[in-house]
Amino acid sequence: MSTAYVAPLKDMQFVLNRLAGIDRIAQLPGCEEATSDVVDAILEEAGKFAGGVLAPLNQEGDKLGVKWHDKQVTMPPGFGEAYRQFVEAGWNGLSCDSEFGGQGLPKVVAAAVQEMWKASNIAFSLCPLLTLGAIEALALCGTAKQKETFLPNMVSGLWTGTMNLTEPQAGSDLAAVRSRAVPQGDGSYRIFGQKIFITYGEHDMAENIVHLVLARTPDAPEGVKGISLFVVPKFLVNDDGSLGQRNDAWCVSIEHKLGIHASPTCVMAYGDNGGAVGYLIGKENDGLKYMFVMMNAARFAVGLEGLAIGERAYQLALSYAKERTQGRAIEGSAGPVAIIHHPDVRRMLMLMKSQIEAMRALAYVVAAAHDVALQHPDEAERRRNQAFVDLMIPVVKGWSTETGNEIAYLGVQVHGGMGYIEETGAAQHLRDARITTIYEGTTGIQANDLIGRKLARDGGATLKAVIALIEQTATDLAGIGDSDADADFVAIATALRAGVAALSRAAAYIVTGYGSDIRGVSVGAVPFLKLLGIVAGGWQMARAALAARADIAAGNADPFLPAKIVTTRFYADHVLSAASGLCETVVSGGAGALALTEEQF
């Protein structure tokens, strides 16, 4: 029971309605079905599925893990059946195009639902996540024939998908990809090469697995400009759509990992027995471009993982802190009290809760902006929102996963010695979370993307627009603080102002120095990413506090609303307070980091 998961519907709905503007999204062309009622019903059903079907498999899946034998992967008990139900209920295609059988729901709704899959069973959730990425690439760049062949079964979830980028010598450096694709003269290619870290590269939950593979054609230029993308199904597909021959794509081993034990991480061998049949997606040498499309979606999704594992770790720690009695109250008590009464346990729980709510708010607001960027009739509005999404994706990815790790760490700490015992379940969240700052690009890679492509490239223009919005929120807060002498709002306003000032100063430093001192500035990339995350999260929490205040003023007596204000206050004092120190690190941290020779280490 203690390892149960209950979808945080109330906060999700508050964020969707009051911060992400689901009403506005429902007015976009193509999003008309996403009315508040429908969204509520979907979230409720998803919550039931996550809590009732996926969550109970999470700990057992971790304990038993996946098994590899003779190039086959066996999933832990219950996973196959859960996946069957998942597909049957239509969850897989929730946000996919209705042309191929999806439900076409907005990204912001999909984000909330995805959070539930990830929180209830992160290992399970990686299978549909990878499938979605492959669907996106095929839908965007595939031929009509490819779409017809693969998409309906992938959207339904009958077939799953993978992304094959990494090779042993290459890691995150795609320029070093060596896998070869040899044209056969009939439009098809033969693929040869080994790929590592392939999530769900092999498993027994679906009839077919559709691998998207990066490889080089014989005359391709060197580096990233010579990479092409191929679709390589595990089973070839006959013209009538039935499954044909087994392709020469095999899982030759799986990794023994710190966490996500129920998610197979495969070493895939292509072409060891004559060549794996593959079909070019889009144009030759354009593979990296297509991968970036998928990667943005995947990076956002991994950001949600940080949030989701954090939420799960929080629920576990909270339930323990309420049940476990130990020690007298520090101010004196007749007998032992529940540990939630102890100030430091409270502090830890509030650190978890407040950062989860900040991450959720920012992620959903970014998802909503993505919907606007895709669907809004006005081009300027689309462009403006896309720029915001592009700026924020590395933040949602990098900040939310680093913070998710911190939260999982605190979750263990709240449990004391019991947290170190695997049966408790808190340690699993710590282990599972640890991959999220690494895959789909490490935090360092996100931060370089942020300060380079997203900040320096446009001279800081997009961020300046965001900063203006944050400053407006700080002004709104200060008005309340001044007039009401409301201590919470005064504190929130002060912290947000200090935070946004720190952010402005750090951003100006980066924009100015990026051209002249790229190495020194890059030392501050991750501290800057965290700074932007903390301040942007504080901005959304401040908006939440203002909305809560308005609702209270309108007569709503839900205790959720004052709690939101208190939580924002806590965030201001315990999280936003780090902003000025991070700014110092950004503007002065280059020298000390780079002065040693390698031999001096």
Q: Does the footprint of its own copies cover residue 593 (CB under 8 A)?
A: yes
Q: CB of 121 within 8 A of CB of 54?
A: yes
Which span (133-141, 358-366, 462-470, 589-597) binds its own copies, by CB under 8 A?
Answer: 589-597
Least Å from the CB of residue 172 to its own copies: 7
Which one among 129, 232, 340, 367 touches its own copies, defined by CB under 8 A? Answer: 340
Which one among 41, 148, 183, 421 touches its own copies, defined by CB under 8 A? Answer: 421
Least Å from the CB of residue 373 to its own copies: 29
Q: CB of 452 within 8 A of CB of 391?
A: no
Nearer to its own copies, 326 or 556 (CB): 326
Name the H helices within 337-414.
343-375, 379-414
94, burial (CB in 10 Å: exposed 0-12, middle 13-18, buried 19+): buried
Which one among 384, 431, 464, 505 touches its own copies, defined by CB under 8 A? Answer: 431
Nearer to its own copies, 92 or 354 (CB): 354
Give me 121's structure tokens: 């069973």
User: Dmax of the chain from CA atoms?
Assistant: 85
Q: CB of 574 within 8 A of CB of 493?
A: no
Q: CB of 75 within 8 A of CB of 127?
A: no
Which span (28-36, 273-281, 284-292, 431-439) binds its own copies, by CB under 8 A?
Answer: 431-439
Q: Binding to its own copies (CB under 8 A): which residues in 177-236?
A: 196-197
- 187's torsion region: left (phi>0), alpha (psi -120 to 50) or beta? left
Q: Side-chain half-sphere of 89: how many Cα atoms within 13 Å?
A: 14
Which one among 170, 243, 293, 501 touches its own copies, defined by CB under 8 A? Answer: 170
As a whole number of angstroms, the distance between CA 372 and CA 22 comes to: 11
Relative orientation angle of helices 287-323 and 426-433, to the nearest 10 degrees: 160
Nearer to its own copies, 113 or 119 (CB): 119
486, burial (CB in 10 Å: exposed 0-12, middle 13-18, buried 19+): middle
Q: Which of 115, 167, 357, 440 is catalytic?
A: 440
Q: Binding to its own copies (CB under 8 A): which residues in 239-298?
A: 255-259
Least Å from the CB of residue 489 to its own copies: 12
Give me 495's structure tokens: 């912290």
> Quick one: DSSP state of residue 76?
P
Annotation says 440 is catalytic? yes
Give me 514's structure tokens: 């990026």
Q: Does the footprint of its own copies cover residue 480 (CB under 8 A)?
A: no
Q: Binding to its own copies (CB under 8 A): which residues in 520-549?
A: 520, 522-523, 525-527
Least Å from the CB of residue 135 to its own copies: 24
Q: Which residues of 453-468 are buried (b: 16+ CB within 10 A; e: fewer)?
A: ebbbeeebebbeebbe
Nearer to its own copies, 518 or 550 (CB): 518
Q: Residue 416 contacts by C-beta under 8 Å, 6 or more apart in sequence? A: none
Least Å from the CB of residue 479 to its own copies: 21
Nearer to its own copies, 65 or 271 (CB): 65
Q: Which amino acid is at 158?
A: L
Which one among 491, 510, 531, 541 touches its own copies, defined by CB under 8 A? Answer: 491
Which span (286-294, 375-383, 426-434, 455-463) binds its own copies, by CB under 8 A?
Answer: 426-434
In angstroms, what CA-CA distances link 335 with 215, 328, 330, 338? 67, 6, 11, 10
Q: Binding to its own copies (CB under 8 A): which residues in 94-153?
A: none
Least Å from the CB of residue 421 to its own copies: 5
Least Å from the CB of residue 196 to its own copies: 8
In angstroms, what CA-CA distances link 569 with 220, 490, 544, 587? 56, 9, 11, 28
Which span (109-117, 186-194, 331-339, 474-482) binds its own copies, by CB under 8 A?
Answer: 331-339
Which one among 448, 473, 504, 540 touches its own copies, defined by CB under 8 A? Answer: 448
Q: CB of 276 within 8 A of CB of 234?
A: no
Q: CB of 21 within 8 A of CB of 376?
A: no
Least Å from the CB of residue 319 to its own copies: 10
Which span (205-213, 232-240, 369-377, 517-525) binds its own copies, by CB under 8 A?
Answer: 517-525
Least Å from the CB of residue 209 to its own copies: 21
Q: Which amino acid is at 202?
A: E
Q: Does the footprint of its own copies cover residue 461 (CB under 8 A)?
A: no
> Quick one: DSSP state of residue 71?
T
Q: Binding to its own copies (CB under 8 A): which residues in 302-321?
A: 318
Q: Binding to its own copies (CB under 8 A): which residues in 381-410?
A: 405, 409
Which one among 84, 346, 384, 505 touches its own copies, defined by CB under 8 A? Answer: 346
Which one among 16, 447, 535, 545 touches its own copies, defined by CB under 8 A? Answer: 447
Beta bridge partners of 228: 215
Q: Does the footprint of its own copies cover residue 338 (CB under 8 A)?
A: yes
Rg (CA), the chain: 24
Catalytically active residues are 440
